[in-house]
């Protein structure tokens, strides 16, 4: 899995393979991660040095690393692809596109609905994984381009939204 990680003002590309090996910006890094509090705290050993990492807040992302608070954000490749698949126009119009080809499993909205930011719009199944595409802002559903059960191509417009106040 690939992540884009921003920590203390620096952005890195972090890859973790199925065997748990890490590369940071293309360079192999000896690392081990041990979760001590589920979803909240980890001991991380990087290049022989141990660190205690604690998640302080999600929004905005704040970590405590060895007792020092830092701003941090990590986005996995699927979320990144989905967000890059969203086109926003100056008018507040958003086009949500399929990040990859797949089967549209579910459509959670109908045209005319007003949805809140992060509300689920559609669920796309690709490579036996379900990806839920969410609203990037509070908006009205202007157009649905596909229905549940249809196959879609990568990059296809699935939902058009218009921001509302």
Mean pLDDT score, 16-24: 81
Same fold, 2-76 and 85-163: no
Using CA atoms, how far residue 141 sits from 24, 138, 145, 155, 165, in Å, is 39, 10, 11, 19, 14
Q: Is the dihedral of CA 29, 32, 38, 40 positive or negative?
A: negative
Residue appearing with tokens 């992302």 = 61
Instruction: Give the rounded percent of residues in the chain with a pLDDT score beyond 90.
Output: 28
pLDDT digits over 46-69, tens only? 888 999 989 888 777 888 999 999
Mean pLDDT score, 64-81: 80
Q: Is the pLDDT of residue 83 over 70?
A: no
Could you tell me the residue ranges of all domains in the chain?
Answer: 2-76, 85-163
pLDDT digits over 138-163, tens only? 999 999 999 999 999 887 889 999 99
Give the integer Cα–Cα distance in Å for 25 and 44: 18
Say which CATH class 85-163 falls into. Answer: mainly beta
Using CA atoms, how far residue 32 sits from 3, 19, 29, 73, in Å, is 16, 11, 10, 20
Residue appearing with tokens 């608070």 = 69
Say which CATH class 2-76 falls into. Answer: alpha beta
């Amino acid at each position: 899995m690939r992540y884009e990680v921003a920590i203390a003002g620096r952005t890195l590309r972090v890859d973790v393979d199925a065997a748990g090996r890490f590369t940071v910006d293309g360079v192999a890094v000896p690392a081990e991660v041990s979760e001590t509090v589920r979803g909240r705290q980890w001991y991380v050993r990087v290049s022989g040095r141990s660190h205690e990492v604690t998640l302080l807040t999600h929004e905005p992302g704040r970590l405590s690393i060895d007792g020092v608070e830092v701003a941090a954000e990590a986005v996995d490749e699927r979320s990144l692809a989905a967000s890059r698949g969203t086109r926003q126009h100056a008018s507040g119009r958003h086009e949500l596109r399929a990040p990859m080809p797949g089967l549209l499993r579910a459509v959670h909205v109908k045209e005319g609905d007003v949805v809140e930011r992060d509300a689920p719009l559609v669920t796309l199944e690709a490579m036996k994984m379900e990806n839920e595409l969410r609203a990037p802002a509070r908006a009205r559903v202007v157009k649905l381009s596909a229905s549940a059960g249809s196959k879609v191509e990568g990059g296809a417009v699935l939902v058009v939204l218009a921001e509302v106040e």
